[in-house]
Amino acid sequence: MSQQPTHDGGVLYRETPSQTAGPYVHIGLALDVAGIPLRDEEVWSRLATPEADGEPIELVGRVIDGNGDLVRDAFVEAWQADAHGAFQPDYDLRKPFNSFGRSATTADGDSEWSFTTVKPGRVPAANGKPMAPHVCLAIFARGINIQLQTRLYFDDEAEANAECPVLNAIESPTRRRTLIATREEADGKVRYRLDIRLQGDGETVFFEF
Tens digit of each residue's pLDDT (9 = 90 or more) over 66-96: 999 999 989 999 999 999 999 999 999 999 9
Residue of higher predicted confidence among 112 and 41: 112
What does pTM read for this prediction?
A: 0.86
Helix (H, G, I), strand (E, B) or coil at 34: helix
CATH architecture for residues 21-197: Sandwich (2.60)
Is residue 1 over pLDDT 60?
Answer: no
Provide, rounded to the nearest whole percent, the portion of the chain with pLDDT above 70.
87
d(CA 84, CA 123): 9
d(CA 126, CA 75): 28
Which of 53, 115, 59, 56 lies closest to 84, judged by CA? 53
Helix (H, G, I), strand (E, B) or coil at 200: coil
Mean pLDDT of the chain: 89
Tens digit of each residue's pLDDT (9 = 90 or more) over 3-32: 566 566 666 777 666 555 655 566 666 677
**Domain locations in the chain as residue ranges:** 21-197
Helix (H, G, I), strand (E, B) or coil at 209: coil
pLDDT at 34: 72
Band (pLDDT 50/70/90 cuts) for residue 109 is: confident
Q: How many angstroms separate the Cα of 89 from the Cα of each of 76, 111, 194, 206?
A: 18, 30, 25, 24
